Amino acid sequence: MNVLDFQRMRDQKKKISMVTCYDYWTARIVAESDVDCVLVGDSVAMVMHGYPTTVNATIPMMEMHTAAVARGAGKKFIIADLPFLANRKSLDVAMDAVQTLVQAGAHAIKLEGVTGHEDIIKHIVDSGIPVMGHIGLTLQFVHQLGGFKVQGRDDAGAQRLLEQAKTLEELGCFAIVLECMPPAVAQQITESLHIPTIGIGAGEKTSGQVLVLQDLLGGNKHMSLKFLKTYGHAHDDFLKALNQYNEEVKQVKFPDETHYY
Ligand code: KIV
């Protein structure tokens, strides 16, 4: 897949699947899968580093994880997140961050919001770097949004999201993530745009879907997000394997003669 395939798939009404990925080991498995593309999301700060929100993601953190994913992801198209404030300080800071992430292996970058950094988005696009927009529940704005809340519930909020999406399209974004908004709002945005939308917690009428890998694998036992569907039992499988290993070590069942040199 390359950046042109996003538009082709949207035009042919083929759904786009995207999954987050933060490390070499899982990137190698994703590379073997049929999933279309990979997001090195700033959610890495929460999922892999244990921070409460994504505001703790930094450029060096994103660079390290992007490079690790790029080493394992084979031919998958890789999108990396510009972390907190990287696109808000100055054009130079933003472009240095973009350069860092693209040289680490990203084929495109994603950034949150639009108002106040339109010129930066346009400059990145005009520099030949594909940009994916992201609106709705944008966690880099968590303190302003008042927490993890569904966006666009009232008419004014829905209208704001539609306007943001149209602006991102005009600025040259090749796709937009729509996060946590009523399905009708996501549908209206999707039908109003020419570029594809990728939804998370936004219903099925978007051009594609994205989920956090560890969430979809069932890696977070106590997570209950309404929009989340789990396709595996990673938490339980890991725990079972670890406890079985422990048990066999204690009972001197492992290693046995099949595991000696
Ligand atoms: O960082 C991330 O994982 C994301 C997805 C939720 C879209 O931005």
Best mutation site among 138, 200, 213 for ligand 1, i.e. most ligand atoms within 8 A of its Cβ? 200
Nearest CA to ligand 1 atom 4: 41
Q: Give this prediction's pTM.
A: 0.97
Segment 54-64 mean pLDDT = 98
Q: For tokens 């999201």, what's the residue?
A: 161
Helix (H) or strand (E) holding 171: helix 155-171
pLDDT mean across residues, the chain: 97
Q: Is residue 206 part of a domain?
A: yes
Atom of ligand 1 nearest to the CA of 47: 3
Active-site positions read 179
Helices first, then strands: H and E counts in the chain: 11, 8
pLDDT at 225: 86
Neighbouring C-beta atoms of residue 223, cutoff 10 Å: 13
Can you name the residues that pair with 251 across neighbouring β-strands?
A: none
Q: Is residue 242 part of a domain?
A: no
Q: Is residue 200 part of a domain?
A: yes
Q: Is residue 189 part of a domain?
A: yes
Does ligand 1 lie within 6 Å of residue 41's CB atom? yes
Q: 130 with 107: CB under 8 angstroms? A: yes
Query: In which domain, by residue range, is 133 found?
Result: 3-230
CA of 250 to the centre of ligand 1 (A): 41
Render pLDDT for 119-146 as a digit per residue (tens, 0 to 9): 999 999 999 999 999 999 999 999 999 9
Q: Is residue 140 part of a domain?
A: yes
Rounded to whole angstroms, the Cα distance separating 237 from 199 reads 28
Number of domains in the chain: 1
**What is the phi/psi pair of residue 39, to 5°?**
-115, 120
Burial level of 25, CB count in 10 A (0-12/13-18/19+)?
A: exposed
Does ligand 1 lie within 6 Å of residue 62's CB atom? no
Does ligand 1 lie within 6 Å of residue 112's CB atom? no
Can you name the residues that pair with 135 across neighbouring β-strands?
A: 178
Q: Is residue 247 part of a domain?
A: no
Render pLDDT for 203-248 as a digit per residue (tens, 0 to 9): 999 999 999 999 999 999 887 888 999 999 999 999 999 999 999 9
Can you name the residues that pair with 16 across neighbouring β-strands?
A: 208
CA of 197 to the centre of ligand 1 (A): 14
Best mutation site among 22, 48, 51, 54 for ligand 1, i.e. most ligand atoms within 8 A of its Cβ? 54
Neighbouring C-beta atoms of residue 1, cutoff 10 Å: 16
Residues ≥6 apart with Cβ < 8 Å to 102: 109, 129
Q: Is residue 245 part of a domain?
A: no
Peptide bond into 196 cis (omega under 30): no
| CATH number for the domain that contains residue 54 | 3.20.20.60
Single out the residue of 175, 171, 220 nearest to residue 194, CA to CA. 175
